[in-house]
Amino acid sequence: MSFVVAVPEMLGSAAQQISGIGTSLQSANAAAAVSTTEILSAGADEISASITALFSSHGLHYQSLSAAAAEFHQSFLQTLNAAGGAYAAADAASASPLGALQSGILGLVNAPTQALLGRPLIGNGTDGTAANPNGGGGGLLSGNGGNGYNYTNGVTLQNGGSGGDAGMIGNGGMGGSGFAGGRGGAGGNGGWLVGSGGAGGAGGALLGLGGTAGAGGAGGNAPYIGWGGSGGAGGHAGAGTGGAGGAGGAGGKLVAFGGTGGAGGYGLTGGGAGGVGGEAGGVLVGLGGAGGAGGQSVATAGAGGAGGSGGGYFFGVGGTGGAGGAGFGAAAVGGAGGDGGVSGVLLGFAQGGAAGMGGSGMAGGGAAGMGGAGATVLGVGIGGAGAIGGGAVSGAGGAGGTGGAGAAVAGFGFGGVGGAGGFSDNSVAGVGGAGGQGELVVGLGVGGHGGAGGGSIAQAGGDGGKGGDAGGIFAIGLGGNGGNGGFGSGPANGGAGGNVGGFNEGSFVPTFFGNGGDGGDGALGGTGGAGGTGGVFLGTNGNNGSS
């Protein structure tokens, strides 16, 4: 055969198992030898003696066959061990000269650049140490950056080492973690042609009273093709404020994926803010990174980070906003959700990022973030959805997020839906977010529906959000429907329907064609929302909501 593939370690393991099987069989044969070859006769008559002789003869034959099988087993075991040893010796003989040759060639190639620039031509950068915490740069041609040093002990604040940058092809090194409130190291940048940024290091925790824990390190950037590195998480603080999450790294210029923002750290007196998502402005594709979640707290919870912007010439999506942190103290309010990232392209598809939901809180829910706008010159623009407001126990529920605008010069513009208001046990619920506008000059615009009001057990539910307006000079507009009022023990109003038209310098301007959106229904005697107005020349008004 032309090629043989063998793993010496597996052959050795198989030999050990076969040896164990042989030992077990020998023990069983020895234990059964006396009882099967020296059988006592049941009586003194000829029949009993004949039966005894027959069974004893069978026992002797079995022992003879067992001895032959044991001899074959031992021979096979010796052959298997010899084969494993031969393969191992052959591997060692072939690997040793090849490894030495490879090492020698790389040494000759890397020596000039190492001497002149302090980094190899081909190879990975060195990892950071306590004495030199920053990772070394990767090879100028190929190689990953070295990782930053992680500080895990000591008596004073220590910042994590930064990750090393890659050269032409390779990934940036990861940032090291901070210690005792020190910040995390930044991730290294990816290769200038192909490669992703390294992740940022985590911020150092803080155990003492008061103070702020270390912030997470920023993710490294991807210069041309690749993903931005994720931001490092903020450090926790036992009796202080949690560290902020690190920002996600930016994506490349051709094909871009922004890095995720780091989560904010927990803190007794305040949660850290989530890191913003990395930007992504690739020529072909740009997907913004998601924002990091806000940190939890007994007092003031951290806000979620905003999503990174996305875009390019043809396809772009904004990053999702991070969720607000939870506040679980008696007087704590949930953190606000992060806004979705905006997106814009020249020709093609653009969608804004969805908003982050508000954090829950005992004394009040956090407001949700706003959906990001999606805009294009020619194509489809879609606004990001608003998120739900945070729930609450004793305080008011958080307001739902407003939907992002969907815009196009020519094509289609769809506004994002508004988020629902947050629930409350013992207070008023949050209002629903307004729907985003569908804006354009030529084509079809559709306003986003307003979010429903939140529900409440002890008091009134939240009012519904207004439907988004839609339209353009030479466009058909369809206004979004208003959100319904939320359930509760008191009246809640429905949101108004969206109108056909758009805004110019802050003033609403009706346009010519399209239908207004329906108003949302009121709850428990609340007023229904008014229907939106239709086009000036052609179209119908929306229906009023029921009370």
> Does the pLDDT value for residue 128 go beyond 60?
yes
> Does the pLDDT value for residue 32 go beyond 80?
no
**Does residue 495 or residue 140 have the better pLDDT?**
495
Q: What mean pLDDT do residues 405-426 have?
A: 98
| Cα three-residue angle 217-221-227, rounded to 5 degrees | 105
Could you tell me which residues are beta bridge partners of residue 270? 241, 300
pLDDT at residue 2, as a whole number: 45
Q: What mean pLDDT do residues 68-72 have?
A: 67
pLDDT at residue 47, as a whole number: 65
| Cα three-residue angle 259-334-466, rounded to 5 degrees | 85
**Does residue 239 or residue 248 have the better pLDDT?**
248
- Max CA separation in the chain (angstroms): 125
Supply the DSSP string of 37-57, one letter for each residue.
HSPPPSSSSHHHHHHHHHHHH
Round to whole Å and give the CA distance between 146 and 218. 16
Q: Where residue 11 falls among pLDDT bands split at 50, 70, 90?
A: low
State the SS3 of 90-138. Answer: HHHHHHHHHHHHHHHHHHHHHHHHHHHHCCCCECCCCCCCCCCCCCCCC
pLDDT at residue 76, as a whole number: 66
Q: What mean pLDDT do residues 209-223 have?
A: 95
Residue type, 494: G
Q: Which of 437, 461, 439, 459 is nearest to 450 (CA)?
A: 437
pLDDT at residue 18, as a whole number: 60
Q: pLDDT per residue over 335-384, tens digit each?
A: 999 999 999 999 999 999 999 999 999 999 999 999 999 999 999 999 99
Mean residue pLDDT of the chain comes to 89
Q: What mean pLDDT do residues 187-209 have?
A: 94
Helix (H) or strand (E) holding 440: strand 438-446
Q: pLDDT per residue over 440-488, tens digit each?
A: 999 999 999 999 999 999 999 999 999 999 999 899 999 999 999 999 9
Distance in Å from the first CA to the final CA of the chain: 85
pLDDT at residue 208, as a whole number: 75
pLDDT at residue 112, as a whole number: 77
> Does the pLDDT value for residue 74 go beyond 90?
no
Tell me the whole-structure pTM to 2 decimals.
Answer: 0.80
Q: Name the token pair of 285.
A: 């594709």
> Does the pLDDT value for residue 54 go beyond 70?
no
Fill in the DSSP letter of residue 523.
B
Q: Which percentage of the chain shows pLDDT scores above 70? A: 80
pLDDT at residue 3, as a whole number: 47
**Does residue 17 or residue 161 have the better pLDDT?**
161
Supply the DSSP string of 280-349, one letter for each residue.
B--SSEEEPPPPPPPPPBSSBPPPPPPPPPEEESSEEEPPPPPPPPPB-STT-BPPPPPPPPPEEEEEEE
Round to whole Å and give the CA distance between 401 and 359. 12
Residue type, 302: G
pLDDT at residue 503, as a whole number: 81
Round to whole Å and give the CA distance between 302 and 361. 11
pLDDT at residue 506, as a whole number: 80
> Does the pLDDT value for residue 226 go beyond 60?
yes
Domain ranges of the chain: 1-32+53-99, 346-354+367-547
Least confident of 32-46, 190-204, 234-248: 32-46
Least confident of 100-109, 223-232, 260-269, 495-504: 100-109
> Does the pLDDT value for residue 78 go beyond 90?
no
Residue type, 524: L
Q: Which of 251, 268, 273, 375 is nearest to 321 (CA)?
A: 273
State the SS3 of 187-244. Answer: CCCCCCCECCCCCCCCCCCEEEEEEECCCCCCCCCCCCEEECCCCCCCCCEEEEECCC
Q: Which of 162, 175, 165, 128 is nearest to 143 (CA)?
A: 165
Q: Where residue 277 falls among pLDDT bands split at 50, 70, 90?
A: very high
> Does the pLDDT value for residue 72 go beyond 60?
yes
Burial code of 469-486, b = ≥16 C-beta within 10 A, e = fewer?
bbbbeebbbbbbbbbbbb
Round to whole Å and give the CA distance between 301 and 450. 27
130 contacts: CB under 8 Å, gap ≥ 6: 149, 151
> Does the pLDDT value for residue 209 go beyond 70?
yes
Q: What mean pLDDT do residues 498-521 have?
A: 92
Round to whole Å and give the CA distance between 276 and 280. 12
**Does residue 57 or residue 384 have the better pLDDT?**
384
Q: pLDDT per residue over 306-319, tens digit each?
A: 999 999 899 999 99
